[in-house]
Structure formats: structure tokens, C-alpha cells
Structure 1
Amino acid sequence: MPAYNPPLRDMQFVIHEVLGAVDELKQIPAYADLDADTVNAVLEEGGKFASQVLAPLNLVGDVQGCVLNKETHEVKTADGFKEAYKQYIENGWSALSADPEWGGQGLPQLVNQAIYEMNNSANQAWTMYPGLSHGAHAALEAHGSDEQKKLFLPKLTSGEWTGTMCLTEPHCGTDLGLLRTKAEPQGDGTYKITGQKIFISAGEHDMSENIVHLVLARLPDAPAGSKGISLFLVPKFNVNPDGSLGSRNGIYCGGLEHKMGIHGNATCQMVLDEAVGTLVGQPHRGLPAMFVMMNGARLGVGNQSLGLTQVAYENAVTYAKDRVQMRALSGPKRPDLAADPIIVHPDVRRMLLTARAYAEGARALVYYTAVELDKSHNHPDEAVRKESDDIVALLTPIVKAFITENALTATVECQQVYGGHGFIHEWGMEQFVRDSRINMIYEGTNTVQALDLLGRKVLGDGGAKLTKFGKIIGRFVKENADNEAMQEFTKPLAELGQKVQAFTMEIGMKGMQNPDEVGAAAFDYMRVVGHMVYAYFFARMAKVALEKQGSGDKFYAAKLATTRFYFAKLLPQVETMMITAKAGLKPLMEMEEALF
């Protein structure tokens, strides 16, 4: 069975030493009393829950999966899942970052994201149940009526009720403008909603007493396409005006998907048969309202892949130190053993360092984005809110797509370290590979994220958001211009920033002549910009490590070694990606469809 040891030292390094997050967040009145000791104490306790309660259930959930009673439409989760969730809400974890107005503890999103990283490492499938509730909570807080907030937010905050997002349908996929689910007004402020939704994570389960579904549907007078979508709140059990549970609503699980991974999470086909719902926000404005939840989910999916990358790396390192096989090419390193531990072999080191670098880069990006998200929502200065909002908008598709792509690479490399044992279920590595694969697909495939990054976030505003982030990089490079020790990092970072600027202009010009050129370049473009973002954070981490390596703490030596590996072995991939992106549309489209 794989083990999990929360990387608290690296988490605290990023939060305190690299980002200076507490001082950043204390500028927000709600976090004025925040201190490093509180953050550390929360992380330590969260790590215990993840490693001691959730991690032992990961293989159990993968083997048992979920079971649907087709007569009652109830879903039973794997052994221990329900009990772990009860402990989770009793200890207040579900309320960590929620507004105190609704019973929350009011801690920053950063702290919540760090807790979720550990939970995802320990058990991604389980973590999806409470994770989806945060998105439902955010959407209702932003767009719900006063009555909806009063009835539902306290229960979502406490975790007594959980939430879902019911978006796509069998014929839709990502194109939600095609959805057919109907909502008929009843004249009393409610609607009867009929239709079918698929791929609904945590759509039915036995862990909470009620499930709050946010459902996209069309009103009778809705225009065609995405501009005719409205958002409705549809609870599993109807809720009485006093907050007590009423009758069973007409929304139920008609089937469970049989999946490649995340077996412990119930991925449901949901049937709505005149289910009673209430409108969230304005008619025909459901998609913008749902984007609050969707964008939060995209950041959450990136965090899922961070968690899987970390736990796969940890276990692969342990195995590589213990497994003896062959001798080092340069001669025996452990003559006292029959063979050397495989960690002496250069290519095993490559695989391990790839996973380590992708975990550490992802952690810095996720935590930085969480700080900017808090600032965009809560900072007292409107200019700061706008600046942070632009940064979050730019980074969201990178968090989702770049981290999840890297996670599949990392988990496969870690599985490879095990050799044949990596193919065996009990070691846990093949589950990490299977679980990580979904993260590249749901919440908008990575192609959709790449198109969002290049088409909307970069070209859509003439490069304004990208320029803002480029200036952040530029300031950092300028501040370290006289630091000789930093040149091995700042010089390639500055050069890449200039190349990305010219690269973006070239792709943009092609796109003006033929929009399909944007689609042809988008995925490679996302990888290039993702690497630029990682290079910036690795350079920041290296600066701190250089300043503190004299302390004798080997943590800083390891950080510098990982950074040098990243710059030498992973960052150069951008050169190939820029070449393939510039190759353009023709190699993709010149073959006639009939020849495929």
C-alpha cells in the first residue's frame, strides 16, 4: 500500500519564504489577524487527517467503487468514506475558508488550497465530495437570492449538505449551448425541471443528508445557444422555509459511470423528472453564474494533479532507495549489497526529478494563484482587485491544463521507476496514473483550456493580461540584475519572456488571417507559457535558496538542485513547442477527411 507524508516543509517554504503570503493577505481587513503560526498549525493538523484517515481509504475506494441501488436510486460509497466525511465536518474542515456570516472560519483560500493539496494526495476520489461543495457555495454566494443564501449556505458551509454542478448532457460534451433540459415556471417562484445530465461527480451518495444540485436548463422563452441558459438550484430533498428537509425531489441517479479511474467517486447519470428548482441569478444568465463554480473547479482540478504528482513522487523515491538492481555504470556504489539501489542510475534520477520539479512548480503556481484570488475578491483597493483578477484569469487555464498534463507525465514516470511492480495494483502507482488521466479531461478538456488561454485571455484583450504578468517577470529580472549567482536562472527567464512576446505576436497575426491558426497553435502555446510561468517561480524559489543555503539546511541545496534540473532538462522543451506551433495549420488540415 502506498504511503503519504505531507510535504509540510516545502508547503511552508512556498507560503512564507517565497510568497510572503501572510503579509500579503494581512492587507485584507478580514485577514488582519492572520499569522504564520496559525497557518502552520492548520497545515499540520490537516496533514494528519490526510495521511492517517484519507490515505488508507484510497485503495479501498479504488477496489470497491460505488454501488447504485437501482430501485431506490441511492448510492453507497466505499467502506470508510462516510465515516471519514463525518470526521471531516466535525473537525470543521469544510468551513475553513467560508465567510463567518455563514458559519465559516474565514481563513484565506490559500490555506484551503493547501489542505486540499494534501487531501488530493491522500485520496482524490474522496476529496471530490467536499470539494464540489465549495464551488456550489461560491456560485450561490455570488449570484443567489437572499432566501437561497439563508437556506443553503450555512448547511454547505458546515458540510451537512454537499453540492454538485449539473452541466453537460449526453449530446453536449463541452458545448453547453446544445443542452435541452427544460425549466417550466410554476407561477409561485419555482420551476419544474426535466431532462438528463451526465458525468455528474458526487451526484448521489450516502455521505451527507442533502445534496444541492446547481443545474443548467432552458426557460420556455430561451433563445438558442449559450445565451439561452439559466441556472437553477435543485436540492435532492426539498427544503422547508425553516430549513428542515421536506419531500424527496424529482432528481435522482439513473446510472453510475464505469470509469478508468477515481472509482471511489460517484460519477452519475442524473435524471430530472419535474424536479422543483429555484432560479439562481437572472434568466438566461446561467452560464456566467456557473462560471464562478467552473473556474473554481478548474483551479481545484489543477490542485488534484499537484496532489497526485506529489504522492507518486514520494512513493517512487522510497522504492528507488530500497530496490536494488544492477550496478552503477561507474562502479559499485553499495558494495555491501548484491546490487546498487536503483536511485544511483541516471535515468531513474531523471524520472524522479521530473516528478519532483513538476510538483514543486505546481505548488508555487497553485499557492500564488490562491493568494491572487483572495486579493481579487477581498482587497480594499479596487486597483489591486482588478490587477489580481486579471492575473487569476490568465493563470486559471494554465493551472488546469499545464499542471494536469505534467501530472500524467510525472505519475507515468513514477510508475516506470517501479518496473513491473508499477503495473501491480497493491503498489498504488497504476491507480495514480489512472486517477490523474481524468484531470486532463473534465472541467473543460485541456484543448479547451489552451484555446481559452490563447484565444480569450491573451489575444482577446490584445495581450494586456499577458503583458501584466510579463511585467512581473521583468521586475524580478531587473531586481536581480546585479546578483551574479542568479544569472543562471534570470538570463534564460528573460530570454524566454522576450521570445514569448514575439511568439504571441506571430500567432496573433496568423490568427487574424485565419482563426483556425489559433486552434492549431493553442496547445503548444499553453505549454510554452506554462513553462515560462514555472521558470519564474523556480527563479523566485532559487533566490531564497541561494540566500539561505549558508544555514546548512540541506532543504535549500535540494531546492537549488531541483531548480537547476528544471532549467537544464525541462524548460528547453519550449524551443520544440515554439517550432511546432509555428508550423501552423497546414500539416493538420491538408489531408482530406476521407483519407483518415
Structure 2
Amino acid sequence: MGKYTAPLRDMQFVLHELLNVEQELKALPAHADVDADTINQVLEEAGKFCSEVVFPLNQVGDREGCQYHDGEVKTPTGFKEAYRQYVEAGWPALACDPAHGGQGLPMLMNNALYEMLNSANQAWTMYPGLSHGAYECLHAHGTPEQQRLYLPKIVSGEWTGTMCLTEPHCGTDLGLLRTKAEPLADGSYSISGTKIFISAGEHDMAANIIHLVLARLPDAPPGTKGISLFVVPKFIPDADGNPGARNGVRCGSIEHKMGIHGNATCVMNLDNAQGWLVGEPNKGLNAMFIMMNAARLGVGMQGLGLTEVAYQNSLVYAKERLQMRSLTGPKATDKPADPIIVHPDVRRMLLTQKAYAEGARAFSYWTALQIDRELSHADESARKEAADLVALLTPVIKAFLTDNAFLCTNLGMQVYGGHGYIAEWGMEQYVRDARINMIYEGTNTIQSLDLLGRKVLGDMGAKLKKFGQLVQDFVEREGTREEMQEFVNPLADLGDKVQKLTMEIGMKAMSNQDEAGAAAVDYLRVVGHLVFAYFWARMARIALDKQSSGDTFYASKLATARFYFAKLLPETAYHIRAARAGAKSLMELDAELF
């Protein structure tokens, strides 16, 4: 079955030593009173809930899956009871607006909570996880009446939410969607169509499910400019806000999947379902982007969560499993063989997992802090700066962290050897679960195109320059310290290379857009490493300053930083060369000749 323990020491290191979060929050009026003790207490309680309540259900959910019968879904044993405990403890309300019953804590704390939940049980976590995106969308674009009806119940966790985008004939290309919305006399709409791949679209864990549905009005223009957003509840709330009449939105079937068996992935049929317009007509995609961006960040946290739990279990196994002797002579002389952690390649795999988990934690927590700055900072220019950085880095969080998670769960299976391929040990489930995260909320290729095409070339590199300035400031500040050279020099070098690569691709794309498409995936990988190198250099600086404290945590952090720069960062040389190779070798072969 394995184990999971919340990595509280490293989480606290990132929050308090790297991000200085208590001081940062003092500049945000909504969170100025949140102190380190409150943050640590929340983390500790969340860690207990995740390890004691949610984690034991992970393999249960994988084995049992969800059961579908006549439009209804039964979740695996224990899922419903765990969700009840989650609601009773107030976790859904953690980072929600107090005006709707929320606790008003920073998004950063919600981010940390979801790392732990995803490590413990990704399939279970997807039920409440999508609800938070629905909350954010309605909080930003819902009418006062919609907010009154839906937000208190979503915030409390009594009701859950979904996002209904994909249709059988269209995935990312939402301009092709066919679901129709016909206006009714009372101001609502009759909505008909079919949506697929709807995570948590039907289940038995909450009293009501609130679907946010993209559909077309009768006079809508073609393409993405003709998409509207509607709130479609499973049960239409009555005058008192309680679930009333059953609506015409039903689950037609659930998918049988490679992984995340404990989460119901549904085909949802809307047959004259009653819905209400959210935001302006034909501007639904703009409103839904709030939920989609929240989901992309959430999928990145799924990647971090699986990386961390795979690392924890790989490490335990590597310390206990006896196989052969060290190449430099026996280390466990009282045993018939050495534990496999003595072998260099096993250490490579473990350190890769550790470096990607801890780098992702620093990066994603910093980004969550930027979201809090964007939402709550007293200074408008600071809010704009934070918004630009979040927009730039959201596709990097989604793609880089999930690519790394699939690599790291596979490495975990390799550390286990033959036992990793056997279900009872639990590692192969993480590989299967991790694979979906590279696909949904926009495949990682889509994220790469978004980064390069929209976020970088779309504004002539303005947002990228803002992150580049952070790197440059750090390099200039730390570059004179001799002990920092091994970190600062490669960071500065990669920053220069990213700048030159961006200009080169941009020039080529001006005459042939396929050049951007051919380079995008490699480009995102390079930018991901630039971000990780920046945070690993910052963490190395702290570890160097505190290594004499006698706390072995800092020695471990410093060794991991050195491994990252020595063994993982050099991957960028390949990707830069591949990006520069251009589109010709990809596009010159006629489709008929494949």
C-alpha cells in the first residue's frame, strides 16, 4: 500500500525561508493578519487529514472504481464518508470569500492543501478540486442572485461543481462545439447537447452538482466568438436555496480509463436542461477561462503531488531493498547485500524525483503567492505585475510539472524493479494516474503553444522580460559570491540563451507560423528549466547561509541543488538545439507518405 507523510519541513522552508510569506502577506489587506503560526497549524492539520483519511482510500478507489447504473454513479468505498469529514472540517471554504461563508485565507494556503490532497489521492481530490474552479468563476462573473443561490453551498462543500466544455467531436477546439441554448420566457435557457470527459460529472458525495456549461445561443456568431456560459444545476434550487426539481442534465455513461479509477469521468447529456446565463452573451469563453486557468494550475499541483508521493515511497524502498554490493565495496557488512540506495543510478532516480518535487513546490507556491498579490495587493501596479507573471507561467506549471511527474512516477516504478510493475505495491498506479495530467485542461503541446505564441510572442516578450528581470536581479546580487558561482553562472547563461532563442523563433515565425509550432514543446521545456534554475539557485543561497547551523535539512537541500544543476539542467542544451532545428524536417513529408 505504501505511505504518505506531508512534507511539512520543506513546505515550511518554502513558505517562510524562501518566500518570507508572513511579511509578503502584510502588503495584502485581505490577508495582513495571517501569521506563520496560523499557516503552520493549517498545514499540520491538512497533513493529518490527507495521510490518515484520504490516503488509505487511494488503492481502494483504484481497485473498485466507480459504479454506473441508470444515470447514477456510486463512488468507491469510503469516498463519500471522507468527503463528509472534509466538509465538516471546513476545508472547502479555506480560501473562499468570507462574504459567502469562506475563511478568507490566501490562495497560497489552498495551493499547499491541494498538493497534499493530490499526493494522498488524486482521484478523490478531483471531486472537491473542480468545485473551487466553479466557485472562482461564479465569484467573478455570476449575478448577485446566482452568487446568493450557489456560492454559499459550493463554499461549504454541500454542493460540488464541474466544467462542461468538451464534446465528442471537439476537444481543445471549442469553436466547433454544438450544444445549443434556447431562450425561455422566464429569462432562463433550455440547453441541449452532449458533453464528454466531465470529471466528477455525477457522483453520490454531495446533495447537488453545479455544472458550468458552454453552449451557443441561436444567433451566435461562428467559432469561439459565439460561445456563452451557463450555470446548469443537477437539481434546480427552490426559493429557499435547497435542491428542488431534477433538471434535464444526466450522466449517460462513465469512461473506463487507464487511471484515476476512483473519479467518475462522465458523458453528460443535456436534454432541455434549464440553465442561466453567466456573464455576457457570446463572452462565455472569457468567463470560463477563469475556471480553466484555475484547473490548469490545479493539474500542475496534481503533478507535484504524484511526484512527491512517488519519491517518498521510492526512497523507503531503496533504503530497505537489498540487492548486490556497492561497486566500491560492501556498505552493509552485517547483511548479505547492500540496500540499493548505494548504487549510483538508483541515486540518480531518487535525486531526480527529489529535485523535481522540491523545485515544483518552490515554483508553484511562489505562483500562488503572485495570485494572491494579483487579487489583493493594495498597489495597482503590483497587481498588474503579478497578473502578468501568473499569465506567463500558468502553462509552464501545467506542462512542466506534469511532464516531470510522469517521468518521476516511472522512475519510481524503476526503483522498485519487478515489484513496481505489481499492483499491490502501489507504484504502477501513480504512473497510470500521472499520465492523464499531461493531456487534460489542454494537452501539454497546447500549453507550449500558449506559452510561446500567446504569452511570449504575442506581446513581443514583455511578460517574459518581467520574469527575466527577476533572474537578472538575482544574478547581479549574488554573482560576486564565490560560493554561488556554480549556481549563478549556469542560471545567467540559460537566461541569455532563452532571450536569444526567443528572438530567433520569433523572427522565423514571422514568415512561417509552423516554426513556432515546431519549436513550442522544446521551448517550454527550456523555460521550465529557467524557472527551476532560478528557484534552485535561491534555495541554494539559503542553504549555504544556514549550512553551519547543524540542521541536516540544509545539507540535503544544497546537495539536491548541486544535483539539479549538474544532472538535470544540461537537458536544456538538447532542447535549444531541437527548437532551432525548425519546422522543415517535420513538414516536408507529404501526409500520404507517412
TM-score, length-normalised on structure 2? 1.00
* Partner SS for 1:140: helix
TM-aligned CA deviation for residue 241 of structure 1: 2.6
Does residue 179 (structure 1) correspond to residue 177 (structure 2)? The answer is yes
* Partner SS for 2:259: coil
Give the paired residue count.
Answer: 594
The correspondence of residues 579-594 of structure 1 with structure 2, limited to 5 A, is 579-594=577-592
Does residue 261 (structure 1) correspond to residue 234 (structure 2)? The answer is no
Does residue 362 (structure 1) correspond to residue 355 (structure 2)? The answer is no
Which residue in the other structure is 1:561 paired with? 559
Which residue in the other structure is 2:424 paired with? 426
- Give the Cα–Cα distance (whole angstroms) in 2 for the partners of residues 518 and 482 of structure 1: 37
- Give the Cα–Cα distance (whole angstroms) in 1 for the partners of residues 376 and 210 of structure 2: 26
TM-aligned CA deviation for residue 483 of structure 1: 1.5
TM-aligned CA deviation for residue 595 of structure 1: 1.4
Which residue in the other structure is 2:3 paired with? 3
* Partner SS for 2:438: coil
* Partner SS for 1:504: helix
Which residue in the other structure is 2:60 paired with? 60
TM-aligned CA deviation for residue 534 of structure 1: 0.2
Structure 2 residue identity aligned to 1:128: M
1:242-288 Cα shifts (integer Å, max 9, x gaps): 20221100001000001000000000000000000000000000000
Which residue in the other structure is 1:377 paired with? 375
Which residue in the other structure is 1:327 paired with? 325
* Partner SS for 2:160: strand
1:101-141 Cα shifts (integer Å, max 9, x gaps): 00000000011110110000000000000000000000001
Which residue in the other structure is 1:78 paired with? 76
Which residue in the other structure is 2:296 paired with? 298
- Give the Cα–Cα distance (whole angstroms) in 1 for the partners of residues 344 and 177 of structure 2: 52
Which residue in the other structure is 2:442 paired with? 444
Structure 1 residue identity aligned to 2:19: L
* Partner SS for 2:325: coil
1:559-594 Cα shifts (integer Å, max 9, x gaps): 000000000000000001000110000111121211
Which residue in the other structure is 2:307 paired with? 309
1:215-260 Cα shifts (integer Å, max 9, x gaps): 0000000000000000000000001132022110000100000100
Identity %: 68
Does residue 48 (structure 1) correspond to residue 48 (structure 2)? The answer is yes
1:3-26 Cα shifts (integer Å, max 9, x gaps): 001100000000000011121122
Does residue 37 (structure 1) correspond to residue 20 (structure 2)? The answer is no
Structure 2 residue identity aligned to 1:440: M
Does residue 472 (structure 1) correspond to residue 470 (structure 2)? The answer is yes
The correspondence of residues 195-344 of structure 1 with structure 2, limited to 5 A, is 195-344=193-342
Structure 2 residue identity aligned to 1:536: Y
TM-aligned CA deviation for residue 173 of structure 1: 1.2
Structure 2 residue identity aligned to 1:185: P
Structure 1, unpaired ranges of 5+ = none
Out of 138, 141, 164, the residue aligned to residue 140 of structure 1 is 138
- Give the Cα–Cα distance (whole angstroms) in 1 for the partners of residues 185 and 469 of structure 2: 54
- Give the Cα–Cα distance (whole angstroms) in 1 for the partners of residues 369 and 514 of structure 2: 35
The correspondence of residues 515-554 of structure 1 with structure 2, limited to 5 A, is 515-554=513-552
Does residue 346 (structure 1) correspond to residue 344 (structure 2)? The answer is yes
- Give the Cα–Cα distance (whole angstroms) in 1 for the partners of residues 377 and 81 of structure 2: 38
TM-aligned CA deviation for residue 397 of structure 1: 0.2
TM-aligned CA deviation for residue 303 of structure 1: 0.3
Structure 2, unpaired ranges of 5+ = none
* Partner SS for 1:418: helix
- Give the Cα–Cα distance (whole angstroms) in 2 for the partners of residues 372 and 484 of structure 1: 31
* Partner SS for 1:125: helix
Structure 2 residue identity aligned to 1:466: L
* Partner SS for 1:79: coil
TM-aligned CA deviation for residue 441 of structure 1: 0.2
- Give the Cα–Cα distance (whole angstroms) in 2 for the partners of residues 491 and 580 of structure 1: 23
Q: Which runs of 4+ in 1 moved over 4 A?
A: none
- Give the Cα–Cα distance (whole angstroms) in 1 for the partners of residues 382 and 258 of structure 2: 43
TM-aligned CA deviation for residue 335 of structure 1: 1.4
Does residue 14 (structure 1) correspond to residue 19 (structure 2)? The answer is no
Structure 2 residue identity aligned to 1:309: T
Which residue in the other structure is 1:191 paired with? 189
- Give the Cα–Cα distance (whole angstroms) in 1 for the partners of residues 213 and 258 of structure 2: 26
- Give the Cα–Cα distance (whole angstroms) in 2 for the partners of residues 177 and 427 of structure 1: 44
The correspondence of residues 107-118 of structure 1 with structure 2, limited to 5 A, is 107-118=105-116
Structure 2 residue identity aligned to 1:50: C
TM-aligned CA deviation for residue 481 of structure 1: 2.2
The correspondence of residues 125-164 of structure 1 with structure 2, limited to 5 A, is 125-164=123-162
- Give the Cα–Cα distance (whole angstroms) in 1 for the partners of residues 581 and 243 of structure 2: 59
Structure 1 residue identity aligned to 2:242: S
- Give the Cα–Cα distance (whole angstroms) in 1 for the partners of residues 328 and 478 of structure 2: 39
1:533-556 Cα shifts (integer Å, max 9, x gaps): 000000011111111111000000
Instruction: Give the aligned CA root-mean-square deviation in angstroms.
Output: 0.6
- Give the Cα–Cα distance (whole angstroms) in 2 for the partners of residues 188 and 26 of structure 1: 47
* Partner SS for 1:384: helix
Structure 1 residue identity aligned to 2:39: V
1:375-417 Cα shifts (integer Å, max 9, x gaps): 1111111100000000000110000000000110011001100
